[in-house]
Amino acid sequence: MGLREQVKSVLLKGYEFRLNRWLDGKQRPRHVGVVLDGNRRWAKEAGFTDVAHGHRAGARKILELLSWCREAEVEVVTLWMLSTDNLNRPAEELDPLLGIIADIVDELAEPGNPWRIRHVGALDMLPTETAARLSAAALRTKGRTGLEVNVAVGYGGRQEIADAVRKLLQKHAESGGTIEELAEVLDVDHIAEHLYTSGQPDPDLLIRTSGEQRLSGFMLWQSAHSEFWFTEAYWPEFRRTDFLRALRDYAIRHRRFGS
């Protein structure tokens, strides 16, 4: 590391220290959702011809993010790793990506790690092997008491709502009820109970990397009162400083919840 990089590193650590001190005692998000965007663009700008290098770099960044969230006493993190639209990518890109995702989830589930893993998404839309590995990883972390990590793979906000309504209708039919009876009592809580994130608090803060300023269907139902934070950094370049800035911006916002 050259002198310039050393000075920059020292200054950055000092800035992070001041941010952390400022955040002490301020409001913190219980649930943080992150759109891990920009892996492919990062790889191309770095000169890689195979975008899988970007996905691998992005996977390594997840471990860092979870450690930052743990320090910040975040309770739930939702990581959007693969959308339902992404499943239409060419096999030569999709197959390695699915393998990278399954590998990092397996790593999170290793003994000694505190994370509780929960898959959020349509398992039936994923290849059988990928679905099995994600389900097995989640099962291995059952009973842990640490940060709950939602891995959103094969996830789409519209798909989630459609699945929730389908489950609601099936449950009502199994109990012998009619559609007319359900229509009489149906409210938002009935649907919320059947979302992938059922039982969890809605996200307080949603972060998207890579400069894109849209949700693209991420947690459509749950984000009704979320705070959004966007950064130009590609996901593999996302730093602890960026995360602390997101927490700072969240801390100074007045959350009205529609009132």
Transcribe 92-151 into DSSP letters: HHHHHHHHHHHHHHHHHTSTT--PEEEEES-GGGS-HHHHHHHHHHHHHTTT--S-EEEE
Q: Is 42 labelled as part of a ligand binding site?
A: yes
Q: Is 113 labelled as part of a ligand binding site?
A: no
Catalytic hit among 20, 86, 163, 242: 86
CA dist., res. 40 & res. 58, Å (int): 10
Q: Is 214 labelled as part of a ligand binding site?
A: yes
86 is a catalytic site residue = yes
Q: Is 187 labelled as part of a ligand binding site?
A: no
CA dist., res. 122 & res. 187, Å (int): 23
Q: Is 89 labelled as part of a ligand binding site?
A: yes
CA neighbor of 140 nearest in space, from 170, 116, 173, 171: 116
Q: Is 83 labelled as part of a ligand binding site?
A: yes
- Residue owning tokens 């910040």: 72
Q: Beta partners for 151?
A: 79, 119
37 is a catalytic site residue = yes
Q: Is 158 labelled as part of a ligand binding site?
A: no
Q: Is 215 labelled as part of a ligand binding site?
A: yes
Catalytic hit among 20, 24, 37, 242: 37
The catalytic residues are 37, 86
Annotated binding site for substrate: 38-42, 55, 83-85, 89, 208, 214-216
Annotated binding site: 37-42, 55, 83-85, 89, 208, 214-216, 227
Annotated binding site for Mg(2+): 37, 227
